[in-house]
Chain A
Amino acid sequence: MSLEYENDGGLHARLIEEVLSQYPDKSAKRRKKHLNVAKSGDEAGEESEVLSECEVKSNIKSIPGVMTIRGCAYAGSKGVVWGPVKDMVHISHGPVGCGQYSWSQRRNYYVGTTGIDTFVTMQFTSDFQEKDIVFGGDKKLERIIDEIEELFPLNKGMTVQSECPIGLIGDDTEAVSRNKAKEHEKTIVPVRCEGFRGVSQSLGHHIANDAIRDWVFEKKDIEFEAGPYDVNVVGDYNIGGDAWASRILLEEMGLRVVGNWSGDATLAEIERAPKAKLNLIHCYRSMNYICRHMEEKHGIAWMEYNFFGPSQTEASLRKIAKHFGPEIEAKAEVVIAKYRPLVDAVIAKYRPRLEGRTVMLYVGGLRPRHVVTAYEDLGMVIVGTGYEFGHNDDYQRTGHYVKKGTLIYDDVTGYELEKFIEGIRPDLVGSGIKEKYPVQKMGIPFRQMHSWDYSGPYHGYDGFAIFARDMDLAINNPVWNLYNAPWKKKTEPSAAIAAE
């Protein structure tokens, strides 16, 4: 938006050829479809110009043995969609591991008394043993629900997040949930998110969305006085407080955020969502399904927005305001004007330190495209991006963001990512915990762009200041200059480039 540039498509095409040459033929043929260089966009989009075409094959099975970075349906449901709902107990139903590894790792911030009326940073598991596999786990699940009721009586409901074995041994978690919900007069939601379903986290999001539709909506009478400016924020998981840094802006412009899905959410916020006037969706990938449902069934419009970086935030505030008419539009302008000095000061401070620095991204959900402009607002250049579990519509939307020549990689393998980074030597890589340390070993600055590397929020104006600070402290830290022992002749010229 703010930056004109084109990437070295020739180099990127060569890198693709090089990595493919290392695979067995069969796998090379399959991987080829997931790698591409963005071509120039020749058609104009409705709302913004299509900058490029980044078509690749996506949302298909990962190849065995290549070190995919993807997770599973359970991760998509328990880890992403349901886990942050704070006043419900989420049971990781099956063996102990899934719940253990995902325990407290997504930084879904919330306020509440943990263990008493709030349960997000806890690990509830049925800890399946061999006998549960052999004889089935339904009886155990019944008992677990009873024990939760006894020990955690202030829970507003429960979800049963199925792990792999549940679907394989033929347990009927739906029947157990239905019966126990009746007995305890609580919402109990079975979610069939066994890890082997689908090809990535993505199906887990979809299954979790469907579970909201089928097991939460229209199950009780909701007493709620709807207002003319009621909106739901959908697909913001409040990582490091993102949803709060967004909410403050929406409220300032006169909207009433009645539901926050699902960061810092309560069950009540989910139940009454269909009464809102508009669904604002941030992470399209993980929650578009329920927005489409609410549109069809309840007539609620939905709108994608982007609160990363001032350019997108401003454009989004205006777009949202337009939906509500002149009064809100005027207030939106007041909000934009209020924060402009902050934006100007942040850019004045950090842009000179970051100008022209190149960035490679590999993340999930919305971020492979949504954060692009935030970097460009700081004068930084996106040279490559890709999705862990994107679909075709994600790559279409990416064309609105990335420039010609950008390297595009879908479901990238550990090998490919390492080689791409080595070949491009960007000034910064934004990806996940599994990628962080290999990249830093190469002497390349890195930021985790799932957890905000334990920082955040990155959304909204308050978040942009933190984002800018974090990118600066990653790139301009003195440690990158210390990689070469002074008595050794430099054999790695690339490290020296990164260390400039």
Chain B
Amino acid sequence: MPQSAEKVLDHAPLFREPEYRQMLAEKRLNFECPHPDQIVADQGEFTKTWEYREKNLAREALVVNPAKACQPLGAVFAAAGFERTMSFVHGSQGCVAYYRSHLSRHFKEPASAVSSSMTEDAAVFGGLKNMVDGLANTYQLYDPKMIAVSTTCMAEVIGDDLHSFIENAKDEGSVPRDFDVPFAHTPAFVGSHVDGYDVAVKGILEHFWKGEERTEAEGTINIIPGFDGFCVGNNRELKRLLDLIGVSYTFIQDASDQFDTPSDGEYRMYDGGTKIEEVRKALNAEATLSLQRYNTRKTLEYCEGVGQATASFHYPLGVQATDDFLMEVSAISGKQIPEALRLERGRLVDAMADSQSWLHGKKYAIYGDPDFVYGMARFIMETGGEPTHCLATNGTSAWEAELKELLASSPFGKGAQVWAGKDLWALRSLLFTEPVDLLIGNSYGKYLERDTGTPLIRLTFPIFDRHHHHRFALMGYQGGLRVLTTILDKIFDKLDRETSETGVTDYSYDLTR
């Protein structure tokens, strides 16, 4: 009997005990009707071949292990970045349970959102009644300052009109007439979570800016971070940089406090976020900067429409991307980049120089949202690494072209390939046929790590199986230092593991590296 009170074994060791191993072997043999081992092994080997890769990449309809989520997730994340704002997702209720769970599993934090709980009758008659009752309940129970409405695909397929529904609900007194209920249609069958983020933020800006007079406040900047699982670390780091420059800025959408509330005995359903008043005033900013272009295409277009200058970045991290960002901020605000930041930059460059021999020529596969992949590929090339495979399931042809241009600008991008619209099962074939040293992605990459033996570095949303990484910045020079260290740790840990066999590799197991 393997179990004991003195040393309780949970699943990880328990099922490796002989009793369980034997039980499972017998189950397989007697009851499961499995394929013969040889056939399974042969098929396993076949999936590693070029021939399988060709078939795999030729898929037209089936998607396996995609690295993207659906629009409303982005909308719910976006709403979490505004002061006392409750997300209200119009449609089926199960979706909302999923978004909340997904965000909580990554941030290890509460994630609030309500649903209008539409069922079969609403599918037939429309969800107006659900909107009317739902807004009233949310307003009364959860005391929000704003309710941000988005949609599930069910409401989109039946064609519910949010604008008129919300007007109707206000007419019926669900919420006061002047209560803020911005909205965005977020069909799950269009784009991905980054587009949901985009239209949700645009919806909020339109709600507050439409028909308002703009009086430009020179030198002031709006920052839109985009969908970012590292918003907690990143937004705080960016604010530090902007404060150092001394620029007047407003974050439009900032979930850094909402997804990082303290444990002190009080549950805060709402914390931090862009103040409603700041959103109104942000209309007057001279410029709006997006940190993630492919998260904000519609929003930036709208900002241009109201007369603001705009610029966008691709998840600025590392040396040159941070340089670009700071110089843009400096140019708009007319403020100098302070000496302190030049020193900070120098320290990142110093660290990269110290470690360059370990990084030079390393090959990487990078996947994630389009801007993240772009930003990471750029930094990897700065370290002398080669971004062999760059993959974004939600990457567009425009992204592909832009990234190819970047890769062509450096000798380290010469052999790199860009995979727009491909999924992680395709990446599996790529890793078997054209292997790399390191894989950069999120928790889903652990299956690729297991199957292909490529060490996984978790640097983007969602990270479910490691804790607290998102609390540290990746953007800026400081963030670059964090990314650099994380990559190096992975390299050194692997090297130590591979050289730690006493009597075999006493050499190479070096104390100093």
Chain A interface (Cβ < 8 Å from any Cβ of B):
22-24, 26-27, 61-75, 87, 94-98, 100-103, 105, 109, 111-117, 121-130, 132-133, 140-141, 143-144, 147-148, 150-151, 153-154, 156, 163-165, 167-169, 195-199, 201, 240-241, 244-245, 247-248, 251, 257-260, 264, 266-269, 338-339, 342, 345-346, 348-350, 413-415, 418, 432-434, 436-443, 455-457, 461-462, 465-466, 468-469, 479, 483-485, 492, 494-495
B110 interface hit (Cβ, 8 Å) = yes
Residue on B nearest A493 in the bound complex, by CB: B265
Report B171 CB to chain A, min CB distance, Å.
Answer: 16
Which residues of B from 97 to 129 have beta carbons under 8 Å from A? 97-102, 104-105, 108-120, 122-123
B119 in contact with A115 (CB, 8 Å): no
Contact B23 A434 (CB under 8 A): no
Which residues of A are found within 8 Å of B268, using beta-carbon distances?
441
Is B119 a contact of A65 with CB atoms below 8 Å? no
Bound-complex Cα distance A63 to B40 (A)? 49
Scan B263-284; emit 1 where CB is below 8 A from any A CB, else 0: 1111111000000000000000
Q: Which residue of A lies closest to B108 (CB)?
A: A437
- Whether B92 contacts A195 by the Cβ 8 Å rule is yes
A64 interface neighbour in B9, B23, B131, Cβ under 8 Å: B131
**Could you write out 18 A-B pairs with CB less than 8 Å apart?**
A61-B119, A63-B117, A64-B114, A64-B134, A67-B112, A70-B97, A71-B94, A94-B153, A98-B98, A117-B34, A122-B65, A125-B63, A165-B154, A165-B157, A240-B10, A264-B27, A438-B269, A441-B266
Residue pair B11, A455 in contact (C-beta under 8 Å): yes
In the complex, which residues of chain B have a beta carbon less than 8 angstroms from the beta carbon of A437?
A: 104, 108-110
The answer to whether B116 and A64 have CB atoms under 8 Å apart is: yes
Q: Which of A23, A140, A153, A484 contacts B264 (CB 8 A)?
A: A484
Report the minimal beta-carbon distance from A170 to chain B, rounded to whole angstroms.
11
Q: CB within 8 Å of A: which of B418-472?
A: 425, 428, 444, 447, 451
Once the chains are docked, how many angstroms separate the CA of A469 from the CA of B28? 31
Pair A163/B153 contact, Cβ less than 8 Å:
yes
Q: A101-B99, A168-B158 are in contact. Are A65 and B136 (CB under 8 A)?
A: yes
The 7 closest A-B pairs by CB, nearest first: A72-B94, A65-B134, A97-B70, A64-B134, A101-B98, A345-B5, A95-B188
Task: Determine how close the nearest CB of chain A comes to the CB of B505; give it in whole angstroms.
Answer: 30
Which stretch (B12-20, B355-363, B478-486) binds chain A? B12-20
Measured CB to CB, the nearest residue on chain B to A150 is B55
Residue pair B64, A123 in contact (C-beta under 8 Å): yes
For residue B2, CB closer than 8 A to chain A, the reply is yes
State the CA gap A289–B61 with chains docked (Å). Answer: 34
Kindly list 18 other residue pairs between chains A and B, CB separation below 8 angstroms, not including A115-B428, A198-B120, A338-B1.
Answer: A23-B137, A64-B131, A64-B134, A101-B73, A109-B11, A112-B34, A122-B447, A124-B63, A164-B154, A168-B157, A241-B14, A268-B33, A342-B5, A345-B5, A349-B5, A457-B10, A484-B264, A484-B265
Q: CA–CA, A414 to B108, complex, Å?
A: 17
Q: How far is the CA of A432 from the CA of B425 in the complex (A)?
A: 30
A328 to chain B, nearest CB (A): 18
The answer to whether B157 and A164 touch across the interface, beta carbons within 8 angstroms, is yes
Contact yes or no, B33 A492, CB < 8 A: no
> Once bound together, how far apart are the Cα atoms of A73 and B154, in whole Å?
13
**Residues of chain A within 8 A of B153, CB atoms compared:** 94-95, 97, 128, 163-165
C-alpha gap A156/B485 in the complex (Å): 45
Q: Which residues of A contact B133 (CB under 8 A)?
A: 26-27, 63-65
Which residue of B has the minimal Cβ distance to A415? B141
- CB of B31 within 8 A of CB of A269, answer yes
Instruction: Please determine whether B263 and A441 come into contact, CB atoms closer than 8 angstroms.
Output: yes
Instruction: Decide if A130 touches B64 in the complex (CB within 8 Å).
Output: no
Is B333 interfacial (CB 8 A cutoff)?
A: no
Which of chain B's residues have a CB closer than 8 A to the CB of A413? 141
Instruction: Check if B32 is an interface residue, CB within 8 A of chain A.
Output: yes
**Which residue of B has the minimal Cβ distance to A133?**
B189
Is there an interface contact between B95 and A414, defined as CB atoms closer than 8 Å? no
Contact B59–A151 (Cβ < 8 Å): yes
Cβ of B35 under 8 Å from chain A: yes
B220 at the interface (CB under 8 A from A): no
CB-based contact A434/B92 at 8 Å = no
A327 to B: closest C-beta gap in Å: 21
Closest to A343 in B: B5
Closest to B129 in A: A64
Q: Is the CB of A168 within 8 A of B265?
A: no
Q: Are B265 and A434 in contact (CB under 8 A)?
A: no
A112 to B59, CA, bound (A): 25
- Bound-state Cα–Cα, A338 to B63, Å: 50
Report Cα–Cα, A101/B100, bound state, in Å.
10
- The answer to the question of B138 belonging to the interface, with a C-beta cut-off of 8 Å to chain A, is yes
Q: How many residues of B contact A (CB 8 A)?
A: 107
Asked if B391 lies at the interface with its beta carbon under 8 angstroms from chain A, I say no
Q: Is the CB of A65 within 8 A of B135?
A: yes
Instruction: Flag whether B190 is at the interface (Cβ < 8 A).
Output: yes
A73-B94, A168-B123, A196-B92 known; A121 vs B187 contact (CB < 8 Å): no
Q: How far is the CB of A107 from the nearest CB of chain B, in Å?
A: 9
- Identify which of A150, A434, A466 contacts B8 (C-beta below 8 A): A466
Do residues A465 and B66 form an inter-chain contact, with CB atoms below 8 A? Answer: no
Please give, as numbers and ranges, the residues of chain B lying within 8 Å of A468 by CB-CB distance. 8
Of listed A124, A258, A468, residue having the most chain B CB within 10 A: A124
Contact B122 A196 (CB under 8 A): yes
How many Å from the CB of B468 to the closest CB on chain A?
13
- A105 to B101, Cβ gap below 8 A? yes
Which residues of chain A are within 8 angstroms of B109 by Cβ–Cβ distance?
437
Q: Is there an interface contact between B5 and A465, defined as CB atoms closer than 8 Å?
A: yes
- CB–CB A22/B94 < 8 A: no
Q: Which residues of B contact A121 (CB under 8 A)?
A: 447
Q: How far is the CB of B119 from chain A (nearest CB, A)?
A: 6
Give chain B nearest CB distance to A221 CB in angstroms.
Answer: 14
Known contacts: A100-B69, A342-B1, A492-B265. The answer to whether A266 contacts B157 by CB under 8 A is no
Q: How many Å lie between the Cα of A421 and that of B418 in the bound state?
A: 51
CA of A415 to CA of B109, assembled, Å:
17
The smallest beta-carbon distance between B391 and chain A, in angstroms, is 15
A133 and B5 contact, CB distance less than 8 A: no
Q: Which of these, B56, B63, B266, contacts A492 with CB under 8 Å? A: B266
Of all chain A residues, the one with the shortest Cβ separation from B61 is: A143
Contacting A at CB under 8 A, from B247-303, are 261, 263-269
Tell me which residues across on chain A come within 8 A of B15, comparing CB atoms.
Answer: 109, 241, 244
Contact of B94 among A74, A127, A434 (CB under 8 A): A74
Q: A443 CA to B267 CA in the complex, in Å?
A: 9
Pick the contact of A67: B130, B142, B158, B264 (CB < 8 A): B142
**Does B506 sit within 8 A of A, measured CB to CB?**
no
User: In the complex, which residues of chain A have a beta carbon less than 8 angstroms from the beta carbon of B23?
Assistant: 244, 247-248, 251
Q: Which B residues are in CB contact (< 8 Å) with A266?
A: 31-34
Are A96 and B192 also in contact (CB < 8 A) when A64-B137, A164-B92 are? yes
Q: Which of A143, A345, A432, A456 contacts B11 (CB 8 A)?
A: A456
**Cα A148 to Cα B64 with chains together (Å):** 10
- Complexed CA–CA distance, A102 and B69 (Å): 11
Q: Least Cβ distance of B260 to chain A in Å?
A: 11
Q: How far is the CB of A264 from chain B (nearest CB, A)?
A: 8
A226 to B70, CA, bound (A): 47
Check if B265 sits within 8 Å of A443, measured CB to CB.
yes
How far is it, in angstroms, between the C-alpha of A247 and the C-alpha of B28 when the chains are bound? 13
Complex Cα distance A122/B119, Å?
A: 28
Query: Whole-angstrom distance from the CB of B23 to the nearest CB of chain A?
Result: 6
Known contacts A72-B95, A196-B118, A443-B265, A97 near B69 by CB under 8 Å: yes
Complex CA distance for A116 and B52, rounded to whole angstroms: 12
B49 within 8 A of A: no
Docked pose: A127 CA to B426 CA in angstroms: 15
| B56 near A116: Cβ-Cβ < 8 Å | no
> Judging by beta carbons under 8 Å apart, are A494 and B265 in contact?
yes
Rounded to whole angstroms, the CA-CA distance of A103 and B4 in the bound complex is: 33
- A116–B47 touching, CB < 8 Å: yes
Decide: A197 near B261, CB < 8 A? Known: A97-B70, A101-B102, A115-B47: no
**Is B66 in contact with A258, judged by CB distance below 8 angstroms?**
no
User: Closest Cβ of chain A: how far from B116's Cβ, in Å?
Assistant: 4
